[in-house]
Structure 1
Amino acid sequence: MALSSTPTHDGSAKRHEAWLKQKSRAVRGALSLTATSGLIGGVLLIIQCWLVARVIDAAIIEGAELDGVWQWLWPLLGIFLARALMSTITDRLAFEAASRIKRTLREQVMARFAARGPRWMEGQRSGEIANALGSAVEGVHDYVSAYLPQKQLAAMIPVAILVAIFPQDWVSGLILLITAPILPLFMIIVGRGAEALSQKQWRRLALMGAHFFDAIEGLTTLKQFGASRREAEAVARISEDYRSATMKVLRVAFLSSLVLEFFATLGVAMVAVYIGFRLYYGQLDFLPGLFALLLAPEFYRPLRDMGANYHARMEAIGAVGELMPILSEDSGEPDNEQREGSGEPNEGSGEPNEGSGELKKAQALPDRPIARVRFEQVSFHHGPTAGGEESHGDGVEAIDFTLARGECVALVGPSGAGKTTLGKLLLGFLPVSDGVIRIDEIPLPMLAPDAWRQRLGWMPQRPTLFAGTIGENLTLGAPESTRDDIEAALRAADALDIVHKLPDGLETWLGDGGSGLSGGQIQRLALARALLGRPDVLVLDEPTASLDAGTAARVLAGLDRARVDTATLLITHDISAARRADRILFLDRGRIVEHGTPAELEAASGAFARFVELAERGVL
């Protein structure tokens, strides 16, 4: 399945908001403190209005001098400072609550991505993944920090104001009480139309963001094939469609704001008119009348603020439409480790898989080094990818071999023969369709994935270096490594000179993807990272790719020294690398068609010998 969801409808909007409220329970304490501090600010506002009314009444009606009003001016100054303090506290508490929710959501999204594994990731658009971690999670921020606290304050502050007004002027209090429900009523009526448009608009934004991200990521390819101008026109067209749709949303949103402002203004005007006439006819004293008039706009302010923050609710509901498919338990294509509890046996193997009842309790690997890895009639069929597209290659069929400690087995064959698939099966990235992989007689699905991968070293065909220092990249899987360990791994990968030539050595900062380094340098540093943890099992996918002949020879010599106590599975098209292996398995169309030592296979004049001949002629 893709990350994206379909446009949100009324029923799903309710589910999305219920999901948001359930997630918000994790910060219930912070939200309660936010509402409490906001309520204290509202009470201080009521006191401030009374003091202002008292000062004006004393100065205008009673004719008091400055000395006669100091007793109210000093407390008024204190109220100003206290309100500023409470406002700051409210904002900080709200921001902290929203930040905690976002941090939790990002951790959960990343955990789901990791749990679904590389196979699922291959079917996703990188732009949609970035949008889920970025815009979708950020869309929840204002809902938590602004809408939820304001929703509580919209109920509490008007009640506090009514409690203060009724003893002073019951007529004004009655007007406010009668007109108060009109604002949320019309906000709901107008807001429903804006909500539907906003949810569709969020989907457009997600698609546009994913498209832009993918276009930027593939900009080099677009330039190479002269398609950049055509892509720029597509971007302009999508942007214009988004602008047009945004204006439709804004028209409805502005209508909602107009309705709120109109009825709030009408309510204040009614209070002012009634107070004015009663003051004129002597039915009301100046002080309570002015006090009620000062509080009338503040009575509607929380309701207006909630209306202003209503768009945050709509944005969050749209964002949840992107997040819920990711965080739901039954969505996506799980990887090998996620099948736990499924109860589905491996067909025809006679072995339970990791989901069967016998295997729910993961077994631990012994403390000693792994002595043997055995593939027993292992099969895997790709089928459709997570994105619904057919994958390339038919997988592997009935693979049977043993990899012992200190031994190097090379997987050789044409592209699409299943070499990388075997490596992913051993890493646990793909579930075995049939047969079983045993690690010292323990079926691989019975091992805890994290514990198993701690014993592994892996260098993929296209390794990734992350933004950070070289040292941080090297110690990604072995954070306790000493400097001597790092230099030993760099030496084995013929990468020590790379670090020595850099101005800051291991502290040199790399950009995303290892920008600033050549492909060959990235390859050697990634190999050093794989060797650093001194793994029991080492899986190397084209370790000499992007390397010149001299560097490749030095890397292979270093590998020969480093793999003495390691079971190494070498996936390669490089004949010179394959010749250094202890044994070669030649794969074609997912099956082992030849196996033996390099010398035996070359002398046999079979599939491997023909492969060598084609490689030496430069045909491959």
Structure 2
Amino acid sequence: MASRAPLDPRLWRASIALRRYLTAAVCCGVIISGCAIGSAIVLASIVARIVTDPAARNLRDWFGPLSIVLTLWIIRTVAQWLQARLGQRGASAIIADLNSQVLEAVTARAPHELAAQRDAAAVVVTRGLDDLRPYFTGYLPTLLLAAILTPATVAVIALYDLRSMVIVVITLPLIPVFMVLIGLVTADRSASALAAMTTLQGRLLDLIAGIPTLRALGRASGPEQRIAELAAAHRRSAMATLKIAFLSALVLELLATLGVALVAVSIGLRLVFGDMTLTAGLTVLLLAPDVYWPLRRIGVAFHAAQDGRTAADKAFSLIGEPADATARVHTVAARGVPIRLQDLSVAGRDGDSPHELSAVLEPGRVTVLTGRNGAGKSTALQAIAGLTVPSSGRVTVAGIDVTELDLPAWWRQLSWLPQRPALVPGTVLDNLRLFGPLDDIETACADSGFDAVLAELAHGMETVLGRGGVGLSLGQRQRLGLARALGSTAPVLLLDEPTAHLDAATEQRVLRAIGERARSGATVVVVGHRDAVLAIGDRVVEVVSDDRVRYAPV
């Protein structure tokens, strides 16, 4: 839920850097406030004595007081510089903390959740949280200064002139009231601007990724009109926010000016009639702007920081609530331990797929999951890996539910080959070692048929691949993924259609290698429906999406 408190408590809890920065900023604010009040009092006494005592106009007599004023101004300037420097460094550290937490939270989610949150996470991480910098460098220091300087200045004014203090107390609340009213409108504008930016960036990412397909279909020149419309909508939203910011700054400046003017008129009239001393009047006049100045700065900085606050709200919605520390604390050794599927069902758009799937995946054997398309075979592998939470039933290892396992530790014991192997920009060797070191790269490449692919590549293992494996054909990518899976030392192999896109000779070689991995003690689960794949299965489990589940040994 979005927080409208001046200091978001979620930021305080989420970042140690914020707590350190606030401590330093408060210290700087105390120094700045003390110097501002002290210099006003000393300067007022100097001017008042020069005006009222003609004999005291020798500059040498004022060397000491002027030195005090100059020292206070230097200290105040240094404190402001230090506060700004700490603000920049603190903002960088806090933004880095939040970026890391967003990435960790989003990438730890199930694949379907990750796909739904991709665009929002991309905007928040790449540029959304950078808008928090004005919040930490402008808004927050000014807020702390207002919390220290304004009450202290009002208290000092009360010591010199109670009437001026009453005027200040009456006019001062007008500024926060208008700030709140304007802030409510600006918050909605900032949320609209972030939504427009998220949509625009998501469309741009999709367009860039689909350019080859659009060119092949002759539609490469179509989407730019929609992108232009989104850009125009974002521009209008940003300009509307700026317009409100400028108008609100004008209103706040006007209120502050009127407040100081009322104090000045009151002091001027009483000085004319001799109802107060010149020293008291000048001191109050010099202090009055410092009462309103921090609040005016808050109003101006608020709009600059509002986009960042909106992005922070989105970031915390992506991070979510902290997970229960006791929920995933179990670890198991998967080697030599059977994996049990007990009435496993996963709800989908068209019902349960799979539906009440029961099986025992034993080490040292090849278990083949077969069934019609859409029955839930791949989903069953995701449930075993802990990537999908079952709607009913459970997956257990050594009697412990997979949903209660420490997932990173569990994933390190799995070698998973999806239908489309994950490939990243980099060399072939980088992609082979993407999920960890391989036991024997040469043997793994020979077993998968990838050695023939390497012989065709000009640079062999050092061949650079593009995004998604660009540079290799579909079959070559499949062989690379197979080499990575078969070369892994993991005790559990989850292979989804491992022989797809392979010729008959390569398929037989791969199936022999899979059988050898099972005979070496690994738990091997293969998704397939071709006769050659079914033939290597020690057990065949038919996966269905209704209430009929057959579990038959071969």
Q: Could you say whether these structures have the same fold, taking a TM-score greater than 0.5 normalized by the shorter chain as the test?
A: yes
Cα deviation code 1:397-441 (max 9, x no counterpart): 454555443433444565434332232232233344566555467
Structure 1 residue 540: Cα displacement: 1.7
Separation (CA, whole Å) in 2 of partners of 1:528 and 1:325: 39
Contact in 2 for aligned 1:362/1:448 (Cα 8 Å): yes
Counterparts in 2 of 1:112 and 1:261: CA distance versus 1, 3 Å: same
Residues 1:503 and 1:40: Cα distance change in structure 2 (over 3 Å): farther
**Paired residues for 1:138-537 under 5 Å:** 138=130, 142-143=134-135, 146-165=138-157, 175-271=167-263, 292-311=284-303, 314-315=306-307, 318-319=310-311, 322-323=314-315, 325-327=317-319, 364-365=331-332, 367=333, 369-375=335-341, 378-384=343-349, 395-397=353-355, 399=357, 401-411=359-369, 415-432=373-390, 437=395, 439=397, 448-466=406-424, 477-478=435-436, 481=437, 513=468, 523-531=478-486, 533-537=488-492
Q: Evaluate the alpha carbon distance shift between residue 182 and residue 549 of structure 1 in structure 2; reply closer, same or farther with a 3 A threshold.
A: same
Partner of 2:28: 37
Gaps of 5+ in 1: 1-11, 331-337, 342-359, 385-389, 598-620
How far the C-alpha of 1:571 sits from its partner, in A, is 2.8
Whether the 8 Å CA contact 1:260–1:304 is kept in 2: the answer is yes
Q: Aligned pair in 2 of structure 1 residues 129, 225: CA closer, same or farther (>3 Å)?
A: farther
Q: Which amino acid aligns with 1:536?
A: P
1:24 aligned residue (2, 8, 12): 12
* 1:276-320 C-alpha deviation (Å, 9 max, x unpaired): 677788887777666555444333221111111222564456446
Which residue in the other structure is 2:494 paired with? 539
Q: Deviations over 1:119-162 (max 9, x none)?
A: 4345x153134235555655655545543443232132123334
CA-to-partner distance for each residue in 1:171-217, whole Å, 9 max, x for gaps?
A: 66555444322222222333333344444444444444444443444
User: SS at the partner of 1:396?
Assistant: coil
Query: Structure 1 residues 398 and 286 mapped into 2: Cα distance closer, same or farther (>3 Å)?
Result: closer
For 2:458 and 2:265, how far apart are their aligned partners in 1? 78
Q: Which amino acid aligns with 2:336?
A: I
Q: Alpha-carbon deviation of 1:259? A: 0.5
TM-score by length of 2: 0.76
Q: CA RMSD in A?
A: 4.9
Q: Which amino acid aligns with 2:523?
A: A
1:538, CA displacement in angstroms?
Answer: 0.3
- Percent identity, please: 30
Residue 265 of structure 1: CA displacement? 2.4
- Cα deviations across residues 536-570 of structure 1 (Å, max 9, x unaligned)? 11012234556677877776666565553322223
Change in Cα spacing, 1:404 to 1:586, as seen in structure 2 (3 Å) is closer
Q: Deviations over 1:518-545 (max 9, x none)?
A: 6566545544544565111101223455
Match of 2:246, SS?
Answer: helix
- C-alpha contact (below 8 Å) 1:399/1:592 kept by paired residues: yes
Give the total of aligned pairs.
Answer: 544
1:565 pairs with 2:521: yes
CA spacing shift, 1:574–1:191, aligned 2, 3 Å? same
> Cα deviation per residue 1:308-359 (whole Å; 9 max; x = unaligned)?
12225644564466456545569xxxxxxx9999xxxxxxxxxxxxxxxxxx
Q: Does structure 2 conserve the Cα–Cα contact (< 8 Å) formed by 1:31 and 1:94?
A: no
Q: Distance in 1 between matches of 2:95 and 2:146?
A: 25
Cα deviation for residue 41 of structure 1 reads 1.9
Partner Cα separation in structure 1 for residue 435 and residue 41 of structure 2: 65
Structure 2: any 5+ residue segments left out of the alignment?
Answer: none
CA distance in 2, matches of 1:215, 1:51: 65
